[in-house]
Amino acid sequence: MTQDEVAQGRRHMLAHFRWIEGEADVWSMLRDPKALGAIVNALAALAERDRPDAIVGIESRGFVLAPAVAVRLGIGFVAVRKDGALFPGSLISKQTEADYRGRRQTLSVRRDHLEPGARLVLVDDWVETGSQALTVSQLAKAGGAKVVSLTAIVDEADDAARHRLPPIRSLVTRTDLH
């Protein structure tokens, strides 16, 4: 995978991104098949740098992007569910710090989906406070794995969040959006 794939994903993302009533519309860029393919390829190119054993995704947009990135890289997907969602098996759960809206959520991962020593890349649409990413890192550590990086479409993390998180790789930063 190449830097050109990252550049193409960035172009498609910026061409399709919109603000609707003050909220970021990430869904529209996923509606166009060429944009979706370019964004997935770009995220995979960014994630591949860290030689992951699996890709982690948080419900809900992480459930859209992360499995596609995992398939592109030929590796598995580890799901992280929110707030007591049905998830059979032995779980590791932890409550997040407050997110950008002041909400706390309980995140859970299946214990048997975390292999000791596994290198994980968390794929998501947007990183802001990093509360969910930090919690996923803690869940992975509790299961013997390690989140080695966070790959996102948009990076809006401030210095305080960035200091606590694994390295962030993104297609754009918040300042790139108009």
Residue 26, H or E segment: none
What pLDDT score does 90 carry? 92
Indicate the SS3 state at residue 165: coil
Among 7-16, 20-29, 33-42, 61-70, the range scoring the smallest mean pLDDT is 20-29
Domains of the chain plus CATH, in order, are 50-172 (3.40.50.2020)
Burial 94-117 (b: 16+ CB within 10 A, else e): eebeeeeeeeebebbbbeebbeee
Query: CA–CA separation, 29 vs 3, rounded Å?
Result: 20
Tens digits of residue pLDDT in 94-151: 999 887 778 899 999 999 999 999 999 999 999 988 899 999 999 999 999 999 999 9
Tens digits of residue pLDDT in 66-87: 999 999 999 999 999 998 788 8
The residues that bridge with 82 in the sheet, in sequence order, are 107
What pLDDT score does 60 carry? 83
